[in-house]
Structure 1
Amino acid sequence: MADPSSQNPTLTTPPPPSSSLSPTPQSGTSELSPPPCSALSFLKTANRPKLRVTSEFDSDSLLFLNKVSCKLFDNLAKLKLSFQNNSQREVSQPQVSFTSKHVSVLYDIEEKNTFIKSNLDVHPRLQLRAIHNVKAQQGEVAMEANLTEPGYSLELSSPVPIGYPRATLKFPLGEISLQEKEDEEEEKQKRVLSVNGILKRQAMNGICTALYTDEELRLRYAYKDDALSFIPSISLPSNAASFAFKRRFSPSDKLSYWYNFDSNMWSAVYKRTYGKDYKFKAGYDSDVRLGWASLWVGDEAGKVKTTPMKMKVQFMLQVPQDDIKSSVLMFRVKKRWDI
């Protein structure tokens, strides 16, 4: 949606009075008539921002997701309108957003609520960030300082208006956060220190990751080369374990397999690509006892503007194991227009 700010006409000084040295106009032309190119130059200066219209249809939900956007002020900011409409053309969830380098504003028309995000570089080593929910009167303020050592930074954040502050130390191998919180399990609520963090380190041609959050430790190891990926993981103290296995047979063929030891649930996906813009995927999920196959026309992970005709299409066939007759064929279409 184009909502360009109106341009004020430029004030120019009046031309000096004509003198005897001025050329005499030819017969048949008026001395007051502007040159023919003046109208064209005015139209060029009054150019409106280009509109980008994107529409996506999902046959499963029978909804259209529409976005209209344009860039303003020589691409320094972006204005976007998004909304949904069904087959009866009823509009729902309309939202308007304004995004720039330092400030982002999202207005929810149905909820009559505004979300504001801002960030400011106070110093090359100091950055301020703020998030505010106008209707709920809640938000968060954060300050991050880059330390003298490369890759090290310290972030202090606090909910607004009420909440406990959080301190986060970031370093090349991960980050650690400290925050006070109230222990709800105790009859008399008391403050306890909560510790969360993540550590990563190279080991045996792979990456070891330790993620600690909410008193649960998850250990994960990821090995990957040009043809094989192996990713086992375990959570403590629950001892929930799983592993993922990926095998690439060629640059265009890959098989992925995931297994959960606790529930004996598993899933498998085979993927084959044909060039850049065609992808076939087929898989099975034992949790929902469902087999499926899908075909992508257009880069699945890429943006629409990089695909032929600026359009992406996905066809998916879902086949329940318990009732094959209830199989469903669905499709999604996403198209972009530049106006």
Structure 2
Amino acid sequence: MADQSPQSPNLSTPPPPPPPTLQSTTSEPPPPPTRSSLFPFLKSLNRPKLRVTSEFDSDSLLFLNKVSCKLFDNLAKLKLSFQNNSQREVTQPQLSLTSKYLSVLYDVEEKNTFIKSTVDVSPRLQLRALHNVNAQQGEVAMEANLAEPGYSLELSSPVPIGYPRATLKFPLGEVSIQEREEEEEEEEKNKRMLSINGILKRQVMDGVCSALYTDEELRLRYAYKDEALSFIPTISLPSNAASFAFKRRFSPSDKLSYWYKFDSNMWSAVYKRTYGKDYKFKAGYDSEVRLGWASLWVGDEAGKVKTTPRKMKVQFMLQVPQDDIKTSVLMFRVKKRWDI
């Protein structure tokens, strides 16, 4: 009988593995660990973004430059400002560090430092201090919010020499009282007296009536304003100098303003038209300087540069003197911001 046992398969013998190779003793050493591997926490730190703003004025031929960045998770702001003239010279460099409670400004040319500090002692009490290092002068102030909302009392005094000032603020305005010295020619000595300054505002009919008293002069002003019309008469006492302003809005994009002074017969007028948010045309005349002018803004005139297209604002202005038209001047101003 035939053998029923299964035949063994014919398996090929695998080749022996190659002998291990020896590394060359002349190979370069591994690179040193990087800074981020030595300090892993640096990976989570981001470089603060720089904001560079440059403005050129063709009238003064000056570049106004600002470089700023926010530090410590937006708790402080560091800013460097300087000017460049037509000879490319750097002038008026200033370095400032600003935070909620402390601000320091250093003037490089004057080698002077200005310090301002604010401390909230309690929810109703705040302390403020100003100091000029070179002049060794400053001011300290304390403001306390009273029990009634809208009322506060502020006490301030110059340092090291000066008379204190007390200011009471309330919903209708504020009043300040300060002692001062006034020279008397006959007796040739200084006389101390109290100086009172203040402002009061109150709603009267459809406008706001205000009275401003400062340096022994009272200025009365009434401002009426609605959607299409503004009328603002003003009179000063005891000089009896009176003036008024009239503003008329013809449409959401057209507005005319007019000012007149009764004591000098001087007047001025301005017409303004806007085209969307980023274009504005203005033209006017001032009889006091006998000058007519026209201006075109590209970019929001009152807004910040970061909100304008391409983060840039441009102004063109034409000035035409009434007495000599040939000396008319075309000026322009450009302001640009870069985020780096």
Q: Output the TM-score relative to the length of structure 2.
A: 0.88
| Moved segments of 4+, more than 6 Å | none
Equivalent-residue separation in structure 2 for 1:183 and 1:33 (angstroms)? 76
Could you tell me which residue of structure 2 aligns to residue 130 of structure 1?
129
Equivalent-residue separation in structure 2 for 1:254 and 1:294 (angstroms)? 15
Could you tell me which residue of structure 2 aligns to residue 19 of structure 1?
none
Could you tell me which residue of structure 1 aligns to residue 13 of structure 2?
none
Code of the residue aligned with 1:223 in structure 2: it is: Y
- The 1:128/1:249 distance shift into structure 2, 3 A limit, reads same
- The 1:219/1:185 distance shift into structure 2, 3 A limit, reads farther
What is the percentage of aligned positions where both structures have the same residue? 88
Q: Does 1:204 align with 2:197?
A: no
Equivalent-residue separation in structure 2 for 1:45 and 1:287 (angstroms)? 61
Equivalent-residue separation in structure 2 for 1:142 and 1:327 (angstroms)? 50
Q: Does 1:244 align with 2:245?
A: yes
Code of the residue aligned with 2:208 in structure 1: it is: I
Code of the residue aligned with 2:241 in structure 1: it is: A
Bigger shift: 69-78 or 178-187?
Answer: 178-187
Could you tell me which residue of structure 1 aligns to residue 233 of structure 2?
232
Could you tell me which residue of structure 1 aligns to residue 311 of structure 2?
310
Could you tell me which residue of structure 2 aligns to residue 109 of structure 1?
108
Q: Does 1:274 align with 2:275?
A: yes
Equivalent-residue separation in structure 2 for 1:188 and 1:163 (angstroms)? 18
Matches within 5 A, 1:1-339: 44-186=43-185, 187-339=188-340
Code of the residue aligned with 1:284 in structure 2: it is: Y
Could you tell me which residue of structure 2 aligns to residue 12 of structure 1?
none
Code of the residue aligned with 1:276 in structure 2: it is: K
1:45, distance to aligned residue in structure 2 (A): 2.4
- The 1:204/1:48 distance shift into structure 2, 3 A limit, reads same
Equivalent-residue separation in structure 2 for 1:64 and 1:33 (angstroms)? 46
Structure 1 residues 227-260: Cα deviation after superposition (integer angstroms, max 9, x where no partner)? 0000000000011111000000000000000011
Q: Which has the larger radius of gyration?
A: 2
Contact 2:146 2:153 in 1 (8 A): yes
Equivalent-residue separation in structure 2 for 1:180 and 1:162 (angstroms)? 13
Equivalent-residue separation in structure 1 for 2:209 and 2:41 (angstroms)? 62
Could you tell me which residue of structure 2 aligns to residue 27 of structure 1?
none
RMSD over aligned CA atoms reads 2.0
Contact 2:184 2:191 in 1 (8 A): no
1:46, distance to aligned residue in structure 2 (A): 3.9
